[in-house]
Amino acid sequence: MSTKTPGLTWADVDVDDDAEMKEFRRQEERKARERAQEAVRQLQEQGIMDVRGRRVRKDLPGACRKSAS
């Protein structure tokens, strides 16, 4: 059974090794892209954004509104 090797972290990356830093940046960019895609998916599911990235709704969903004080 194969186990997934954890990615590099700031704690264990060798910042003086260009190849390792390149891999670390590539890994972090991939993770950022995945987070952005997930955020877009959630906005589309909530009906706030269409498939072209345009805002559909002008009001905020209940979870994003400030509660009246």
Q: What is the mean pLDDT of each run of 10 residues along the chain (69 residues)?
A: 65 94 96 95 90 80 65
Q: Which domain holds residue 50?
A: 18-59
pTM for this predicted structure: 0.66
Q: Is 45 helix (H, G, I), strand (E, B) or coil?
A: helix
Alpha-carbon distance of 11 to 41, in angstroms, equals 31
- 40 domain residue, yes or no: yes
Give the largest Cα separation in the chain, rounded.
Answer: 55
Which residues fall within 8 angstroms of residue 44, CB to CB, at 6 or more apart?
A: 50, 51
How far, rounded to the nearest angstrom, does the alpha carbon of residue 22 sit from its chain's CA centroid? 19
Q: Count of domains in the chain?
A: 1
Angle (nearest 5°) at CA 31 between 28 and 34 = 150
